[in-house]
Amino acid sequence: MRHPHRDVVVIGYGIVGALACWRAAAAGQTVTCLDPEPGTGATYAAAGMLAAVTEADFGEPDLLRLNLHSARRWPDFAAAIERTAGTGIGYHRCGVLTVGYERADHDQLQRLAQLQQHSGLAVTPVTTEEARAREPMLGPRGIGGYWVPADGQVDPRRLMQALKIITDDHGVRVVRRSAAQLMDDHDGRVVGVVDEIGDEHPVDRVVVAAGYASGPLLAAHPRFQVPVRPVKGELIRLDGGLPGWSPESRIIRGFVQQRPIYVVFRAADDRTGGQEVVIGATSQEWADDRQVTAGAVFALLRDARALLPGIDEFAIKETTTRARPATPDNLPILGRSGIPGLVIATGHYRNGILLAAATAEALDLIFAGRELPDVWKPADPRRFHDQPSDHDQLGKSEGAPWVTTSR
Ligand code: GLY
């Protein structure tokens, strides 16, 4: 069957796909979205940390610039979503407290703080006593680290509910099917998508926002591929509501014997009350199964309670795992592909929620036919096509160059 012509088809309805649907529709385009299980991918697992400063790491200056660019846009972005949807999304610029468990963990926090300070970011050392004043649950082994005032959080599930209200209001048609392949015309322009049951969706523009599934989908395309791979993350959600305990949104990030751990305390929305506590996250290359392992639950609880022993009192609400869409340089793959009609918006890896604000802005520019600002240049989808891959240089022409022995 051939569906009536629409302006845009978006493949994927996670945070990035939902934003693409919204911004295309807001630009006056008719939009279809293909996703067999909307909103149930990486976005569903996300803890919702907006931690551009705290999560800055060595060797990622372009990503840091992009993350900070997005963090600056979050207050207006959150306000626009809440206003348009008429519902809250749990956005709080609550800051992040970093703490260590052993001296070596504190040293690790110090090295990161030096990097952050050299980048001009506000990071204040806190003594253990000050850390305890900020975080009453901090256990006897916790060592004060740093206070990062600019970082914050949002509730990714409420964010997605709000975006669903908005895209429904804009008449976005979400079809619960996966995309099987792209349709090309004789000039090599992408002119639509064939879905899993063989239906054709003819459009002027296709936006591929299918997370790590974007790689396999585009693998069949003769002229454009994206090196995006799954990196599995497991998280635990606790019910942090205790009698007489007033909920407060806050974030603790730290190292326990050199292993990173974060704990997001989230005052639940007015309707449900209470407090959700999200502990994350594991990281496993090239895994996309949805099994939460006993080892992961053990490791997350072991490290979280090493810093915050009081979490022992909380009930386990949920364990979740999903795969993040990762790229060879940890940067997203976002922009025009160079193939007429094909836009790529994937590879947001650990930063899908944080980068949402900048991604919405970039999509606006793409739909308006304008250039992206310089901060997005390192994320250009064509960066993996303009130079020979290692495999080509080695004289091997078969196989995807990003498939490494780490699989
Ligand atoms: N940004 C947190 C994570 O990927 O676990």
CB of 350 shorter than 6 A to ligand 1: yes
Q: Are 398 and 243 in contact (CB under 8 A)?
A: no
Q: DSSP string of 261-281?
A: EEEEEEEPPTTT-SEEEEEE-
CB of 215 shorter than 6 A to ligand 1: no
At residue 198, the pLDDT reads 98
CB of 232 shorter than 6 A to ligand 1: no
Centre of ligand 1 from the C-alpha of residue 391, in Å: 30
pLDDT in tens, 301-322: 999 999 999 999 999 999 999 9
CB of 352 shorter than 6 A to ligand 1: no
- Which residues of 16-110 form beta strands (DSSP E)? 31-34, 49-50, 96-100
Choose the most confident range, by mean pLDDT, from 213-222, 340-349, 380-389. 340-349
Structure tokens of 371? Answer: 């250039």
Percent of the chain with pLDDT over 70: 92
At residue 245, the pLDDT reads 67
Buried b (16+ CB within 10 A) or exposed e, 356-367: bbbbbbbbbebb
Average pLDDT for 248-261: 96
Centre of ligand 1 from the C-alpha of residue 85, in Å: 26
pLDDT in tens, 153-204: 999 999 999 999 999 999 999 999 999 999 999 999 999 999 999 999 999 9
Pick from 199-213, 216-230, 263-277: least confident: 263-277
Average pLDDT for 105-130: 97
Round to whole Å and give the CA distance between 185 and 191. Answer: 6
Ligand 1, atom nearest to 349 Cα: 4
CB of 281 shorter than 6 A to ligand 1: yes
**Shortest-distance Cα residue to atom 3 of ligand 1:** 350
- How big is the CA angle at 49 (ends 46 and 55), to the nearest 5 degrees? 110
239-243: long-range pairs with CB below 8 Å, 24+: 239/274, 239/275, 239/276, 239/277, 239/314, 239/315, 239/316, 239/317, 240/265, 240/274, 240/275, 240/276, 240/277, 240/311, 240/314, 241/268, 241/273, 241/274, 241/275, 242/313, 242/314
Round to whole Å and give the CA distance between 282 and 287. Answer: 11
The residue that leads in pLDDT, 193 or 407, is 193
At residue 315, the pLDDT reads 94
At residue 244, the pLDDT reads 63
State the helix-helix crossing angle for 156-169 and 15-26, rounded to 10 degrees. 30
**Shortest-distance Cα residue to atom 2 of ligand 1:** 350
Centre of ligand 1 from the C-alpha of residue 51, in Å: 10
State the helix-helix crossing angle for 61-85 and 156-169, rounded to 10 degrees. 60
Helix (H, G, I), strand (E, B) or coil at 310: helix
Please determine, for residue 389, whether its predicted confidence score (pLDDT) is greater than 60. no
Give which of 252, 258, 255 is closest to 151, Cα–Cα.
Answer: 252
Please determine, for residue 274, whether its predicted confidence score (pLDDT) is greater than 90. no
Percent of the chain with pLDDT over 90: 89
CB of 233 shorter than 6 A to ligand 1: yes
CB of 381 shorter than 6 A to ligand 1: no
pLDDT band at 223 (very low <50, low <70, confident <90, very high): confident
At residue 404, the pLDDT reads 28
At residue 241, the pLDDT reads 76
**Mean pLDDT, the chain, integer:** 93
Average pLDDT for 74-86: 98
Average pLDDT for 361-380: 98
The pTM of the whole model exceeds 0.85: yes
Round to whole Å and give the CA distance between 190 and 262. Answer: 42
CB of 280 shorter than 6 A to ligand 1: yes
Average pLDDT for 246-252: 87
- Ligand 1 pocket test: which of 15, 44, 49 has the largest number of ligand atoms within 8 Å of its C-beta? 49
Average pLDDT for 357-382: 98
Average pLDDT for 402-407: 28
Is residue 306 within a helix (H) or strand (E), and if so which, with residue range?
helix 294-307
Q: DSSP string of 222-258?
A: SS-----EEEEEEEEEEE---TT-----EEEEEEETT
Centre of ligand 1 from the C-alpha of residue 349, in Å: 8
Centre of ligand 1 from the C-alpha of residue 193, in Å: 31
Centre of ligand 1 from the C-alpha of residue 351, in Å: 7
Round to whole Å and give the CA distance between 131 and 367. Answer: 46
- Ligand 1 pocket test: which of 151, 262, 320, 327 has the largest number of ligand atoms within 8 Å of its C-beta? 262
Centre of ligand 1 from the C-alpha of residue 343, in Å: 25
**Shortest-distance Cα residue to atom 4 of ligand 1:** 350
Phi, psi of 129 (to 5 degrees): -60, -45
Domains of the chain: 1-90+152-227+328-407 (3.50.50.60), 96-149+230-326 (3.30.9.10)
Ligand 1, atom nearest to 354 Cα: 1
